[in-house]
């Protein structure tokens, strides 16, 4: 990427549409240039664009805000792929070998390209991850330059409904007129930004408590092993609170300000509003949160790694900030639980964004961005000044050119003959070059 340009990412979440611009140095460290967020309102549901025209209008507004902050034009952007239909499945590619030819990078790359072409029925293939190699049936960490009779590569494909990508393209490219530089699976990118290598190796369950969905990603041995999306999130809890007789905005405010889980949920709050029955409020919140938690625990069991998560559960997402959630989730799951934040190793400024869970996913997109997203302004060539026609001056008969003598006529005739022959040769050469019959 050019040093004068920048990289851009947009995350279309259920509650907010968030955008960031950054600049990546040769070591891959990112400096944030600008960030903005606007409410999604009803154009995004469960992490997928629902109203294309409304989403396009909000994307245009977000882009304008970012451009005004930096004074630069955005020509393209990376976007996050999310939604309740996302999940990870195992896919195998097998290659028969001659037993003598060493395995090369080109061979492995060819197998990966074949895996990318695999599209399960009714689903789109959004990412190919986590290759594991088995040479002659035995696990091989690095098969390069090894020989054998069979090579089996096991991948994790992240698949989802095709409308995730279709609606992104229609909103961002077709309507908002911003080219998409790449589609990046949001939960996978977020894992790269917040998880330590130790956590991935030891085994952990990364839980993203979002507004529209709750996404579970299970890691073990450094690789993604399982992914599942639960179609409930923070907005679901807000709607339950709204049923107590509040408008949506008030329900969201009361949930954030007074919501508690676990043993302290019924403790009095000094600044509690007289309109809020804290006991009833937290009863509603905990009922729905327990449903989400039980679904997370059940999906962890279905992954087959429930007893191998030595690093426990790691939480991210805006809805993970509820008071008491860490202890309550640890009690329910019988696993250690902690909140994660974006690593300063990758982003060297904007500390307030690293601490804000709203920006975790969009910041993670920049890790995978490598194209210059600045719009190149095409400068039209300057028009040549118009030639002002000069008035014709008639030559009077007495002012006409005097007659030349015979000697001058002969010289002029000789030059005309020579030039005529030269242009005839050029004409013939051109005719040979561009003959239609040939």
Q: Are residues 297 and 284 in the same domain?
A: yes
Q: Does 380 score more than 80 pLDDT?
A: no
Q: What is the rounded CA–CA span in Å between residue 346 and residue 316?
A: 17
Q: Are residues 248 and 330 in the same domain?
A: yes
Q: What is the pTM of this model?
A: 0.82
The domain that holds 112 is classified in CATH as 3.30.1490.110
Quick one: tokens of 157? Answer: 């494909």
Q: Are residues 13 and 79 in the same domain?
A: yes
The phi and psi torsions of 46 (rounded to 5 degrees) equal 50, 35
Those residues with Cβ within 8 angstroms of residue 411's Cβ, 6 or more apart along the chain or in another chain: none
Q: Which pLDDT does position 277 carry in this prediction?
A: 86
Q: Are residues 327 and 354 in the same domain?
A: no
Q: What is the rounded CA–CA span in Å between residue 36 and residue 16?
A: 10
Q: What is the pLDDT of residues 196-215, one digit of tens each?
A: 999 999 999 999 999 999 99
Residue 200, domain member (yes or no)? yes
The domain that holds 65 is classified in CATH as 3.30.420.40
DSSP letter string, 238-264: HHHHHTTT--HHHHHHHHHHH-B-GGG
Residue 411, domain member (yes or no)? no
Q: Are residues 204 and 189 in the same domain?
A: no
- Total Cβ atoms within 10 A of residue 193: 22
Average pLDDT over the chain reads: 86
Residue with tokens 């990508």: 165
Q: Are residues 4 and 71 in the same domain?
A: yes
Domain boundaries, position 19: 1-83+166-195+341-375
Q: What is the pLDDT of residues 276-294, one digit of tens each?
A: 888 899 999 999 999 999 9
| Across 248-258, average pLDDT | 92
Those residues with Cβ within 8 angstroms of residue 392's Cβ, 6 or more apart along the chain or in another chain: none
Contact 329, 338 (CB under 8 A): no
Contact 17, 38 (CB under 8 A): yes
Those residues with Cβ within 8 angstroms of residue 228's Cβ, 6 or more apart along the chain or in another chain: 87, 88, 215, 216, 299, 302, 303
Residue 129, domain member (yes or no)? yes
Q: Which pLDDT does position 437 carry in this prediction?
A: 35
| Across 53-66, average pLDDT | 96
């Amino acid at each position: 990427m050019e040093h004068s340009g920048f990289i851009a990412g947009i995350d279309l979440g259920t509650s907010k549409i968030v955008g960031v611009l950054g600049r990546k140095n040769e070591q891959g460290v990112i400096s944030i240039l600008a960030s903005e967020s606007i409410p999604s309102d009803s154009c995004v549901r469960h992490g997928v664009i629902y109203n294309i025209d409304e989403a396009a209008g909000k994307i245009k507004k977000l882009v304008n805000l970012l451009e005004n902050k930096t004074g630069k034009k955005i020509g393209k952007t990376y976007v996050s792929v999310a939604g309740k239909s996302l999940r990870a499945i195992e896919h195998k590619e097998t290659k028969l070998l001659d037993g003598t030819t060493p395995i090369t990078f080109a061979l492995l790359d060819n197998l990966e390209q074949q895996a990318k072409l695999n599209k399960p029925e009714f689903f789109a293939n959004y990412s190919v991850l986590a290759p594991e190699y088995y040479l002659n049936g035995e696990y091989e960490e690095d098969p390069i330059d090894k020989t054998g009779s069979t090579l089996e590569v096991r991948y994790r494909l992240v698949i989802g409904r095709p409308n995730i990508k279709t609606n992104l393209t229609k909103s961002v490219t077709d309507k908002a007129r911003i080219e998409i530089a790449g589609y990046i699976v949001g939960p996978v990118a977020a894992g790269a930004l917040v998880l330590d290598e130790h956590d991935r190796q030891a085994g952990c369950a990364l839980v993203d408590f979002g507004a529209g969905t709750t996404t579970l990603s299970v890691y073990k041995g450094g690789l993604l092993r399982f992914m599942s999306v639960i179609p409930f999130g923070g907005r679901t809890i807000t709607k339950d609170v709204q049923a107590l007789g509040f408008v949506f905005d008030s329900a969201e405010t009361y949930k954030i300000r007074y919501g508690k889980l676990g043993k302290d949920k019924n403790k009095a709050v000094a600044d509690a509003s007289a309109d809020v029955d804290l006991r009833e409020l937290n009863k509603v919140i905990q009922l729905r949160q327990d449903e989400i938690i039980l679904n997370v625990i059940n999906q962890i069991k279905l992954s087959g790694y429930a007893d191998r998560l030595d690093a426990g559960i790691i939480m991210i997402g805006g809805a993970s900030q509820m008071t008491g959630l860490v202890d309550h989730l640890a009690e329910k799951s019988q696993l250690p639980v902690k909140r994660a934040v974006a690593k300063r190793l990758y982003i060297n400024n904007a500390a307030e964004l690293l601490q804000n869970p709203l920006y975790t996913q969009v910041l993670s997109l920049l890790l995978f961005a490598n194209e210059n997203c600045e719009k190149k302004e095409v400068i039209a060539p300057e028009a040549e000044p118009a030639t002002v026609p000069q008035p014709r001056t008639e030559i009077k008969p007495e002012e006409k050119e005097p007659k030349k003598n015979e000697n001058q006529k002969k010289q002029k005739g000789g030059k005309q003959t020579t030039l005529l022959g030269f242009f005839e040769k050029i004409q013939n050469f051109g005719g040979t070059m561009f003959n239609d019959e040939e």
